[in-house]
Amino acid sequence: MSTLKETLFKKIQEHRPRTTKLVKECADVKLGDVTVGQAIGGARGVRCLVTDISYLDPMEGIRFRGMTIPETFAALPKVPGSEYPYVEGFWYLLLTGDVPTMEQTLEVVEDWKQRSAVPEYVIDVLRALPRDSHPMAMFSAAIVAMQRESVFASNYAAGKFNKMTCWEDMYEDANTLMARLGPIGAYIYRMKYKGDTHIAPDPELDMGGQFAHMIGQSDEYKDVARMYFILHSDHESGNVSAHTTHLVASALSDAYYAYSAGINGLAGPLHGLANEEVLRWTQNFMQKLGGEVPTEEGLKEALWATLNSGQVIPGYGHAVLRKTDPRYTSQREFCMNTPGLKDYPLFQLVKMIFEVAPGVLTEHGKAKNPWPNVDAQSGVIQWYYGVTEYEYYTVLFGIGRALGCLANITWDRALGYGIERPKSLTTAMLEEAAGIA
C-alpha cells in the first residue's frame, strides 16, 4: 500500500466515529431554516453539505485543509528549481490533511506517471468529435469514455460492493483520472489549436511540468500550470462543479460519470466559463479602442454598457465571497512579480478594471459582492504566455478542479454519505407558507 493510501486509511478510520456519532446522536440538531427566497434562489446559503477538505469564509476566502493560499504554497514540497509546489503533494494534502514530505510527494508523482498513459480509444473519441466542438465538451466526453475502466463500477457489477472498503475503488479511479487529465487536456489543445501535432511526455516531469511540456510551453509556464491547478482545485462543496460531482457520485455512480458531469457544470458562463468571458470582454474592449490605452471614463462607459445590455461583468461577484477573492490576489501577485507581465498592457487593463468595476457594480446596486473572483485575473496570465485560445481556459480550470472534486467523492464513499435527494415544493405550497395563497 502506498504511503498516501495508508495515511488516508488511518484518517478515515479516525474520522468515521465522528460522523457516526453525529448521525446517531445529533441528527435532529438544526443548522438553519430555509426561506422561500432560498428555495427559488438556488439554495444560496442553505447549510446542508459537509466537507473537511476546504472551507470558504465570505471575508477571508478559501482555506485548504485549514491553510490559506500563501500558507499552502509555503508548506508544500517544491519542485526543484521551482517556486511552486508539486500538484501531487497538494493532492496528498487535500486527501489526508497532512503536509507530505518530499519522499511521500515523490511516491504520488511516480504513481501518477504509471497511470498517465491516455488510452488509444480516448484519442479516437476525441478525434471523432467535430473539430469545432467546445474543448469542454471534448474534455467531458473523454472523461466519460474512460468509465469502462472504473474499478468501482466493475467491482460493484461483480457484487463486491462493501460500504467500508468501497472508498478504495474510488481512490483508484480518482488517481487514474488525476494522472490522465493533464495529458488529455494537452491532447485536446494540440489537436484543436496547434495543427494536430503532439508532444510525447517527458518521463522526468511532475504533473504540472508535464502539462506545460505537452502543450508545447516554455519552462517558465511550468510554474504557471502548477499554480493554476492548485488555485482552482477546491472551493468547498456548494459550487456547481463540486456539487454536481458530489450529487452524481451520491447515486454510487463512479468517478468518471461524476466528474464528467462536474465538468459540464463548470462549462457554464456563470461558473468556470467566466474566465473565457473575461478575456473575450477585455479583448473586445481593447479592439474597440484600436490599441489605445483606455481612460477610466472610457472603461466606466464600457462596464455600464455591459450592465445596461443585461449582461453580467464577468469575473466579478460571487455567491459566497464578499471580498476580493484571494485566488485573484495570488494571481495578481504572480503578475506583479513577473518581469514582463507587470507592465503587460492587458494586465494594466485588468488592474484598471479592478480599480473601476467595484465602484460601478456598487452604484448599479445589484451584485452582493462587487469584488473580483478568480476568473478576473486568470486569463491574462495565459494570454501573456501565448495560450491565447480563450475558449480553452476552462479546461485548465477543469484539470485543477478535479483535485478537489475527486478528493471529496473519495471521502464521500469513506464516510458513506447518502444519496442526495432534497425535497421539492410547488409554487402553491410556497404561497400557502407565505400566507398569500
Binding positions for ligand FAM, rule: CB under 6 A: 44, 239, 270-272, 274, 307, 312-319, 366-369, 373-375
Nearer to ligand FAM, 140 or 239 (CB): 239
Nearer to ligand FAM, 100 or 372 (CB): 372
Are residues 67 and 326 in contact, defined by beta-carbon separation less than 8 angstroms?
Answer: no
Q: Is 1 helix (H, G, I), strand (E, B) or coil?
A: coil
- Beta-carbon neighbour count of residue 8 at 10 Å? 24
**C-alpha to C-alpha distances, 168 to 118, 134, 174, 190, 256, nearest whole angstrom:** 22, 33, 10, 34, 15
176: nearest Cα among 146, 133, 204, 217:
146
> Minimal distance in Å, beta carbon 357 to ligand FAM?
8
- Judge whether 169 counts as a catalytic residue: no
The residue whose grid cell reads 454510487 is 252
Nearer to ligand FAM, 42 or 345 (CB): 42
> Minimal distance in Å, beta carbon 373 to ligand FAM?
4
Which of 111, 223, 375, 412 is flagged as catalytic? 375
State the DSSP code for 372. B
Nearer to ligand FAM, 44 or 288 (CB): 44
Could you give the CA distance from residue 171 to residue 189 in angstroms, rounded to a whole number? 28
Q: Which helix (H) or strand (E) holds 255?
A: helix 255-266
> Minimal distance in Å, beta carbon 68 to ligand FAM?
17
Q: Is 45 helix (H, G, I), strand (E, B) or coil?
A: coil
Name the residue with the smallest CB distance to ligand FAM.
317
Residue 77, CB-side half-sphere exposure with 13 Å CA sphere: 21
Could you give the CA distance from residue 367 to residue 292 in angstroms, rounded to a whole number? 30
Nearer to ligand FAM, 131 or 368 (CB): 368
Could you give the CA distance from residue 168 to residue 175 in angstroms, rounded to a whole number? 11
> Minimal distance in Å, beta carbon 98 to ligand FAM?
28
104: nearest Cα among 11, 179, 7, 203:
7
- The whole-angstrom distance between residue 425's C-alpha and the CA centroid of its chain comes to 31
> Minimal distance in Å, beta carbon 307 to ligand FAM?
6
Are residues 267 and 134 in contact, defined by beta-carbon separation less than 8 angstroms?
Answer: yes
- Judge whether 271 counts as a catalytic residue: yes
> Minimal distance in Å, beta carbon 313 to ligand FAM?
4
Are residues 247 and 289 in contact, defined by beta-carbon separation less than 8 angstroms?
Answer: no
Q: Which three cell numbers stand for residue 15?
A: 474520522
Nearer to ligand FAM, 187 or 281 (CB): 281
> Minimal distance in Å, beta carbon 308 to ligand FAM?
11
- Judge whether 375 counts as a catalytic residue: yes
Nearer to ligand FAM, 139 or 152 (CB): 139
Q: Which three cell numbers stand for residue 170?
A: 474510488
> Minimal distance in Å, beta carbon 393 to ligand FAM?
11
Which of 173, 271, 325, 412 is flagged as catalytic? 271
The answer to whether the Cα torsion of 340, 343, 346, 348 is positive or negative is positive
- The whole-angstrom distance between residue 33's C-alpha and the CA centroid of its chain comes to 29
**How does DSSP assign 397-436, residue by residue?**
HHHHHHHHHHHHHHHHHHTTPPPP-PPP--HHHHHHHHT-
Nearer to ligand FAM, 142 or 274 (CB): 274
Which of 318, 325, 364, 412 is flagged as catalytic? 318
Catalytic residue numbers read: 271, 318, 375
